[in-house]
């Protein structure tokens, strides 16, 4: 396996694993807090529940924007690769289809990594913050 591909996949897999551990912790804490709050919420609960909505909106908006930019960059790079592969032969020769396939694979991982980054950052930070707080 080439070293470049290994560096791309490993941080993405680690982030996915961290996200899969942080999300259930955050959900469990917040659902428990909602159940304990009942119909009469404290100011602290109101603040946390508003934060919960606002942070999801900002994280997903940032994720979609970053994915869009990364997809645009990847499409430009793939278009240039395609043009090089069908253009006149240069001193480097034409690109093999497997090279373009590997580039496409890397582009998809790049888009996924860009989209996961803000969500991962917020979820892991919330898990750490909420682990330190008391429910009541």
Q: Decide: 64 and 115 in contact? Cβ < 8 Å.
A: yes
93: which 2 tokens? 């020769």
Q: Quickly state the pLDDT bin for 82 (edges 50, 70, 90).
A: confident
- Structural domain includes residue 42: no
- Cα 92 from Cα 89, distance rounded (Å): 8
pLDDT at residue 10 is higher than 80: no
Number of domains comprising the chain: 1
Of 118 and 83, the one with more pLDDT = 118
Q: What is the dihedral of CA 99, 103, 104, 106, to 10 degrees?
A: 140
Confidence of residue 11 (pLDDT cuts 50, 70, 90): confident
Does 124 reside within a domain? Answer: yes
**What residues make up the domain containing 111?**
56-136
Q: Are 106 and 8 in contact (CB under 8 A)?
A: yes
Residue 113 located in a structural domain: yes
Domain annotation covers residue 131: yes
Chain position carrying tokens 């990847």: 74
Task: Determine, yes or no, domain membership for 84.
Answer: yes
User: Is 72 part of a structural domain of the chain?
Assistant: yes
Rg (CA), the chain: 21
Average pLDDT value for residue range 23-38: 92
- Residue 96 in domain: yes
Q: Which residue has the higher pLDDT, 84 or 90?
A: 84
Asked if pLDDT for residue 91 goes beyond 60, the answer is no
Q: What pLDDT is recorded for position 80? A: 86
Q: Where are the alpha helices (DSSP H) in the chain?
A: 3-37, 43-86, 97-132
Identify whether 81 is part of a domain: yes
The span from the CA of 79 to the CA of 88, in Å, is 15
């Amino acid at each position: 396996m080439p070293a470049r591909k290994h560096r791309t996949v490993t941080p993405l897999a680690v982030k996915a694993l961290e996200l899969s551990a942080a999300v259930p912790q955050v959900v469990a804490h917040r659902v428990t807090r909602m159940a304990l709050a009942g119909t009469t919420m404290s100011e602290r609960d109101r603040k946390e529940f508003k934060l919960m909505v606002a942070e999801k909106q900002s994280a997903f908006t940032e994720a979609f924007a970053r994915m869009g930019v990364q997809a645009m960059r990847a499409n430009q790079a793939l278009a240039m690769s395609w043009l090089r592969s069908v253009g006149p032969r240069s001193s480097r020769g034409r690109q093999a289809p497997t090279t373009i396939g590997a580039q496409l694979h890397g582009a998809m991982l790049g888009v996924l990594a860009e989209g996961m980054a803000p969500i991962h950052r917020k979820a892991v930070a919330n898990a750490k913050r909420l682990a330190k707080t008391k429910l009541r």
